[in-house]
A and B are shown apart, each in its own frame.
Chain A
Amino acid sequence: MTYLLEGKNLNKTFREKAKTTIALSEVNFCLNKGEILGVVGESGSGKTTLLKAIAGMLKLDQGSLFYNGTEYTGQKPRQTGQFLQMIFQDANSSFDPRMVMEKSLIESGRREKNPERIRQLVQLVGLEEELLQRKPAALSGGQCQRMAIARAFYSDAEIFLCDEMTSALDVSTQARILELLRDLKKEGRLSAVFVSHDIALVSMLCDRIMVMKDGKCVEEGEISEVIRNPSDDYTRALLESARRQSIQEPIG
């Protein structure tokens, strides 16, 4: 069976003078079409490195990457951008401060420009068309992140790589973005790798989860299974802090 995206035996070590950091150690992953894979870990766990490796933003020491069964290891973002798009943590700075949104979106398209489609996409992500004429500084963090989602769709990329895309936002804005992503997923429009430090957030959105620590994948599986029955101590610790930080009693 071929996956939409697959990584085999990914290894990456950073060497800086006297210090060597193992950022990825024998990491394997796969992503099916229409699925969201959550990657959870603390800062320094290698989760962002994994995302960058998938996107071709850094060179792997070892390992291979496949898109629809075809190997693309070693391709740079200019090529990988044809099938994947990165959605960054700081949404405002992912748009050129001197350009209006419409221009930024047009720029991301690889086909002939289609303003009508941009308008449709902007509506799809729950924004008003007027916002297209504004510069990023005149938009809130949440609005910018929605624009980033619209941009990723406009680029015709099949896979979204989301790097802590909601951690800079307010809890409420985060909840709205999450709703949007869930709706898009339900419509079958979304295949994504969703990196976050918040396992609760991941549990609300993703189908499968990978828990990372010190560059290794310590646990992997169906999200409900991992929550009910974690096999690793670290996963248990993550779940414990997530429970403590969430408000358990549901309210009407």
Chain B
Amino acid sequence: MRKKKRARIKIIIVAALALLLLLCAVFAGVLAPHDPSAPNAAVIRIAPCAEYPLGTDNLGRCVLSRVLYGGRTTIAATFLLVFISFAVGTLIGILCGYYGGIVDKLLMRVADVLLAFPQMVIAIAVAGILNGGMTGAMISMGVTMWVSFARLARSHTFALKNEAYIQAAVFAGKSDLYILLFHIFPNLLAPVLTQALTQIGTTMIGLSGLSFLGLGVIPPTPEWGAMIAEARAYIQIAPWTIMGPAAAVIITIILFNYLGDAVMDYREV
């Protein structure tokens, strides 16, 4: 019991920090001291000071403001992508696991093929074909992301459908749809949601990575990966321009990964 309590406290603390981060992104408009995309020739590449806490970049734009606004783009895209993959993957997984048969075999082989390549390689290829843009980047990541959800949901459904309580529901004359909605889905939601939490970090790296490669957002929209790519050119004269977005990426990813782990630990204790 004590272990469980400790795990719960850990989750609350990490979740609070994650929430704070989300609020920073949501209220970027209020918090940002300057316009994130307004160039200012008078303040090019200034080191951090009171006016510009994280310095300015090559075009004299406030790095802090851009990091805050960039968070919006990155986090919103990440959440949307994780949610869609979660929904699509879980739906496919449940149906495959429950009904089995030829469709299940086919979809699972497709999943195997997709898993055979590193996720980023496929994402780069697809994003290249789709010619960049945030939507393109999201689609290119989504192509492989649903797989992990589908597999997890499928294996849980597979185990659940042989449980005695599912049999009991069948004897009570309940329809497949009823069983899927009210018995199977609620019972596999927890593990699949945990999986979604742990996916947030990697998705964020993926999206930032694509932007870094020029396959994501189109400048001047602020986005962490794109900012790092841009600042790379003058990293020796103005290292702060890269520090801001890099720190933001690292903190966010650590935070969400840790949150996912904490929740997973909690469920195991």
A57 at the interface (CB under 8 A from B): yes
Asked if residues B187 and A86 are in contact (CB atoms below 8 Å), the reply is no
Could you tell me if A86 and B173 are in contact, using CB atoms closer than 8 angstroms?
no
Interface string of A57-100 (1 = CB under 8 A from B): 10000000000000000001111111011101010011111100
Find chain B residues with CB under 8 A from A94 CB.
164-165, 167-168
- Known contacts A96-B187, A98-B187; A86/B169 CB under 8 A: no
Q: Is A155 an interface residue (CB 8 A)?
A: yes
Q: How many residues of B contact A (CB 8 A)?
A: 14
Shortest distance from the beta carbon of A2 to any chain B beta carbon, whole Å: 24
A110 at the binding interface (Cβ < 8 Å): yes
With both beta carbons as reference points, the residue of chain B lying nearest to A107 in the complex is identified as: B172
- B170/A107 in contact, CB under 8 A: no
Residue in B164, B165, B173, B187 whose beta carbon sits within 8 Å of that of A81 in the complex: B173
Known: A97-B187, A98-B186, A98-B187. A90 touches B164 (CB 8 A): yes
B268 at the interface (CB under 8 A from A): no
Q: Cβ of B183 < 8 Å from any Cβ of A?
A: yes
| B164 and A110 form a contact (CB under 8 A) | no
Known: A98-B186, A98-B187. A93 touches B170 (CB 8 A): no
Q: Is the CB of A81 within 8 A of B183?
A: no
Q: Is the CB of A108 within 8 A of B172?
A: yes
- The reply on A151 being an interface residue by CB < 8 A is yes
Contact A110 B165 (CB under 8 A): no
Q: Is B171 an interface residue (CB 8 A)?
A: yes
The answer to whether B173 touches A110, judged by C-beta atoms less than 8 angstroms apart, is yes
**Residue A109 CB within 8 A of the other chain:** yes
Q: How far is the CB of A51 from chain B (nearest CB, A)?
A: 12
Asked if A104 is at the interface (CB within 8 A of a chain B CB), the reply is yes
A187 → B minimal CB distance (Å): 23
Contact (Cβ within 8 A) A77 B165: no
Do the beta carbons of A107 and B174 come within 8 Å of each other?
yes
- Among A55, A77, A95, max chain B CB count under 10 A is at A77
Q: Is the CB of B164 within 8 A of A85?
A: no
Which residue on B lies nearest to A90, using beta carbons?
A: B164
Do A93 and B173 have beta carbons less than 8 Å apart? no
- Per the bound structure, the CA–CA distance linking A96 and B168 in Å amounts to 9
Instruction: Give the chain B neighbours of A80 by CB distance below 8 A.
Output: 171
B169 CB contacts on chain A under 8 angstroms: 96, 107-108
Checking A85, A90, A98 against B171 with a beta-carbon cut-off of 8 angstroms, the contacting residue is A85
Query: Per a CB cutoff under 8 Å, which of A77, A90, A98 touches B170?
Result: A77
Q: Which residues of A contact B183 (CB under 8 A)?
A: 96
Contact A81 B171 (CB under 8 A): yes
Residues on A with beta carbons closer than 8 Å to the beta carbon of B172: 81, 107-110, 155
Contacts of A76 in B (CB 8 A): 170
Contact with A along B167-205 (1 / 0, CB 8 A): 111111110000000010011000000000000000000
Q: Is the CB of B168 within 8 A of A151?
A: yes
Q: Is the CB of B186 within 8 A of A86?
A: no
In the complex, what residue of chain B is closest to A80 when comparing beta carbons?
B171
Could you say which residues of chain B place their CB within 8 Å of the CB of A108? Answer: 168-169, 171-172
B167, closest chain A residue (CB):
A86
The closest CB in chain A to the CB of B187 belongs to A98
A96 near B167 (CB under 8 angstroms)?
no
**C-alpha gap A57/B164 in the complex (Å):** 12
Q: Which residues of B sit under 8 angstroms from A107, Cβ to Cβ?
A: 169, 172, 174
User: Are the CB atoms of B163 and A93 closer together than 8 Å?
Assistant: yes
A95 touches B173 (CB 8 A): no
Chain B residue at minimal CB-CB distance from A97? B187
Residue of B nearest to A94 (CB): B164
Our pick among B164, B167, B186 for the contact of A77 (Cβ within 8 Å) is: B167
User: Which of B165, B170, B171, B173 touches A96 (beta carbons < 8 Å)?
Assistant: B165
Query: CB distance B167 to A57 under 8 Å?
Result: yes
Question: Smallest Cβ distance from B179 to chain A, in angstroms?
Answer: 10
A164 to chain B, nearest CB (A): 12
Task: For residue B231, give the distance in angstroms from its CB to the closest CB of chain A.
Answer: 50
A104 close to B171 (CB less than 8 A): no
User: Among residues 101 to 155 in chain A, which have CB atoms less than 8 Å away from a CB atom of chain B?
Assistant: 104, 107-110, 151, 155
Known: A95-B168, A96-B165. 20 other contacts (CB 8 A): A76-B170, A77-B167, A78-B170, A78-B171, A79-B173, A80-B171, A81-B170, A81-B171, A81-B173, A82-B173, A94-B165, A94-B167, A95-B165, A96-B169, A97-B187, A107-B172, A107-B174, A108-B168, A108-B171, A155-B172
Query: What is the interface of chain B, defined by CB distance below 8 A to chain A?
Result: 163-165, 167-174, 183, 186-187
7 contacts between A and B (CB under 8 A): A57-B167, A77-B171, A78-B174, A95-B165, A107-B174, A151-B168, A155-B171
| 4 A-B pairs with least C-beta separation | A81-B171, A94-B164, A88-B164, A108-B172
